Structure 1
Amino acid sequence: MASRRRLLRSLLPFALLTAGAAYAIASWNWCGRWETRPPALMLNTRAEGALKVGAARVPLQPPFPVVVAGYPPPRPEASQAAPAPHARAVVVQVGEVRVGLVSLELLSVTANLVEPLRLRGAELGINDVLVFATHTHSSLGGYDSRLVAQIAGTGRYRDDSLSAVSSAALEALRQAAATLTDATLEVGEAREPGFVYSRSGGEPPDGVLTRVVFRGASGPVAELLLLAAHPTLVPRQHASVDPDYPGRLSELREAGGGVVLVLQGAVGNASVAFNEGQGVERAAAFAQALSGLVDKAVPSAVPGPTRLALARAEVALPRPDSSRLVPALTRAAGDNFLCHSSARVAAVNALALGPLELLTLPGEPTMGAGQVLLQRTGATRVLGLSGDYIGYVDTPEQVAQKAGESKRQYFGPTLLERLGAAAQSASEAAGFTREP
């Protein structure tokens, strides 16, 4: 026993030295120079005239067994899908301008999913493709190679997971582009604030559902349902990959014809307040309730000609800031970890479709952040989880107070200002007509 104590005492200085060296190395500024520059306009296309629309849906085929994404570890592995997640695509054409919208029943989308879709879209004559995640927290993971994503939500990266998602998305886009037909545009809106609540304070979610119908000669070709409510109804420990309420809502509405895409709005602090049933039964019941809300959003026809415009502005992101995520002692190491996995630029899109003027962001804006962007640009709606994933986006006031969803925000208090500058540039280029 005495010899063991002497050995431990002799090793203690070495252990302390090793720990100190590791701390010093981890605390070194590995981020390097973080670029700052104004927004750059990367895309600007517009047309006005007759509307054509094509749509398709394709099942995702997970490479079972596959990790269930959505929560920190430990994560369950699933060996089946019930119901199956899907990739859905709508291609909209006015004149010579074609825009693709792709919705994936996943937690998030990333650049390694989006870029191949844009390249494939170009081959199909599509000017650009906007890719969205429904943000379900019970679908397959493994498709994001970034370390912070693997740890925080999507699980260990696997080439076959990425390939499965990419294949379904590409096929849905191809089928949608091949089925273009004459269509008219209809828009409706309904509100049910009782369906949602703010899980973290700040500006409460408004419960607004916007319904966009593309109607062909024989009925609906496609619908877009825009709302904000976190799809976290399916239990964390679940043996099946599950699309949560967005997938169920799409399937319910598709029974009436057409392909239905569910797109998340300012979802950062929007949680579901609907409490009928538990787990998958709750997800199914909420989808039914939302379908009833869709019925109340009676769409009105938008007279032609149809306006279609898309502009994209890219802006440098502020340096990652882990001060709200980790203890002060490990702040430098936390910053280094985020720098290794974080994007250095973000793209904001401005899409004008008839009377709708939509902003799309690569993260989870809160309702407060969304309102700031609406006021700055005059947009109709803000859509999140598009094109990439940069985490939560909250207001500078919440960041300064370390409150709300800013406690999960990867970047510092200037994040919303940077994105707002890009949104303003894109919205002006797209010809948004509403006054900010």
Structure 2
Amino acid sequence: MSPRWRRLLASLLPLTLLTLGSAYALASWNWCGRWSEQAPVLLGQARAEGPLRAGAAKVPLAPPFPVVVAGYSPPRPDASQADPMPQARAVVLASGEMKVGLVSLELLLVPEELVAAVRERAADLGLQGVVVVATHAHSSFGGYDPRLVSQLAGTGRFRKAALEAAVAGASEALHQAAARLTEVTLEVGEAREPGLVRTRSGGEEPDGALTRAVLRGGQGPVAELLVFTAHPTLVPRNQASVDPDWPGRVSLLREEKGGVTLVLQGMVGNVSVSFDEGEGLEKVRAYARTVAGLAERAEPAAVEVARLGFARAQVALPRPDASRLVPSYSRAAGDNFLCASSSRTAEVGALAVGPLELLMLPGEPTVGAGSLLVRRTGATGVLGLADGYVGYVETPERVEAGEGEARRQYFGPALLDRLGTGAELAAQAAGFTR
């Protein structure tokens, strides 16, 4: 190297170090500020007694091709087709003047912006509550979440057209379901097959339980709710087409018998599929057939429906905590990055239909975390990925120890307790019988 170049590099070194130091200091500044702890606030509640009515519908989500395939970190493939097409499936439950809508989208997650837009478009239906959930398919389309952390970690670059496709499908499904209300009876059954699931990170083991609730009208089943928990990650990652994974195929198989089937994820945080039949998409189809068969084994029995209850509560989230996600020297910058993409509040819901008492959480609770919430509220089950997304929810002990799904949790150990306090308030307001 010539003396001239050595002199130039020597003159640039202080400026480079100063620039890097300034950038590090700027990124490490406490941009998050203080996140105050507040008591949960009840956002709405409704209860009714008497005969139950229900309507259901499914509508294709019609992504704006070409679209990014969501579910994993970059690089992500683009897709120009879907097989099968992701769907929006909705059920509207009514008793007396009270009506509640539940809409399931075959997507990775549902951000707050999507939930708010769906509720706004459903305002003309006179619903006392609208719950929006995701099946958590890691191979459906992305681009609908404007939060930077979500774009980088899972859903890809934000496109307004992708968000509109999800909102339009959900809204249309809710409107069609509300227009089809008819008197129904409720049948509930359960079956379990522990060998179909496994824990991927330790902690409490999943039991492979499937809860089946059938809303049966005079002409046959109107809708079927299947609560079964396992990450939908069977579709190969490099697949260049949009795919709803095993939940979408289970719905299609069950719908051959009539009605609309919603597959709902429960305590999915640490639960993965355990299945060795077939390869690629054939493995997806085989697992779907097996879960559909498990649903058939969950022979439902008629139950007395004397009530319908719904409530939702807002909780203050703890300050984001990147200590388990990034090296220690970049923790402050990591905290700032999470804060920029995090709301300071989240929503927790509770739905009571006859003997079913379901909590609804905006994230991925582990089996251990969900079990703690069940014990606190007396719920019969927990639905994850509902009405927003705050990431993983692990037990405080495992977060403090840095174990289990703590390495994916965006918040500190207080997250579960904050959500639990709101869940208790919502459960009480919805009329849980504990």
* TM-score category (smaller protein): over 0.9
| One-letter amino acid of the counterpart of residue 144, structure 1 | D
Name the structure 2 match of 1:133: 134
Asked if 2 retains the 8 angstrom alpha-carbon contact of 1:320 and 1:412, the reply is yes
Name the structure 2 match of 1:426: 426
Name the structure 2 match of 1:85: 86
Q: Within 2, Cα distance between the matches of 1:381 and 1:171?
A: 28
Aligned residue runs from structure 1 range 5-404, under 5 A: 5-304=6-305, 306-404=306-404
1:328-358 deviation digits (Å, cap 9, x = unpaired):
0000000000000012111111110100000
Secondary structure at the aligned position of 2:371 is classed as: helix
Deviation at 1:116, TM superposition (A): 2.2
Asked if 2 retains the 8 angstrom alpha-carbon contact of 1:121 and 1:128, the reply is no
Deviation at 1:277, TM superposition (A): 1.3
| One-letter amino acid of the counterpart of residue 146, structure 1 | R
Please list every run of 5 or more consecutive structure 1 residues that lacks an aligned counterpart in the other structure: none
Asked if 2 retains the 8 angstrom alpha-carbon contact of 1:277 and 1:285, the reply is yes
Q: Within 2, Cα distance between the matches of 1:98 and 1:125?
A: 7
Deviation at 1:281, TM superposition (A): 1.2
Share of identical aligned residues, percent? 66
Secondary structure at the aligned position of 1:87 is classed as: strand
1:264-307 deviation digits (Å, cap 9, x = unpaired):
00000000001211221111110000011001100000124x31
Deviation at 1:114, TM superposition (A): 1.0
Asked if 2 retains the 8 angstrom alpha-carbon contact of 1:100 and 1:121, the reply is no
Asked if 2 retains the 8 angstrom alpha-carbon contact of 1:44 and 1:430, the reply is yes
Q: Within 1, Cα distance between the matches of 2:31 and 2:189?
A: 50
Asked if 2 retains the 8 angstrom alpha-carbon contact of 1:67 and 1:77, the reply is yes
Q: Within 2, Cα distance between the matches of 1:269 and 1:360?
A: 17
> Which of structure 1's runs of 4+ aligned residues deviate more than 3 A?
none
Asked if 1 retains the 8 angstrom alpha-carbon contact of 2:45 and 2:128, the reply is no
Asked if 1 retains the 8 angstrom alpha-carbon contact of 2:352 and 2:358, the reply is yes
Deviation at 1:9, TM superposition (A): 1.9
Q: Within 2, Cα distance between the matches of 1:344 and 1:100?
A: 26
Deviation at 1:320, TM superposition (A): 0.1
Please list every run of 5 or more consecutive structure 2 residues that lacks an aligned counterpart in the other structure: none
Q: Within 1, Cα distance between the matches of 2:6 and 2:275?
A: 60
Deviation at 1:404, TM superposition (A): 0.3
Secondary structure at the aligned position of 2:76 is classed as: coil
Q: Within 2, Cα distance between the matches of 1:165 and 1:185?
A: 29
Asked if 1 retains the 8 angstrom alpha-carbon contact of 2:312 and 2:350, the reply is yes
Q: Within 1, Cα distance between the matches of 2:269 and 2:278?
A: 24
1:61-83 deviation digits (Å, cap 9, x = unpaired):
11111000000011000010011
Q: Within 1, Cα distance between the matches of 2:33 and 2:138?
A: 34
Q: Within 2, Cα distance between the matches of 1:154 and 1:60?
A: 16
Asked if 2 retains the 8 angstrom alpha-carbon contact of 1:265 and 1:381, the reply is yes
Count of residues in Structure 1 that have an aligned counterpart in Structure 2: 433
Q: CA RMSD in A?
A: 0.8
Moved more, 116-125 or 222-231: 116-125
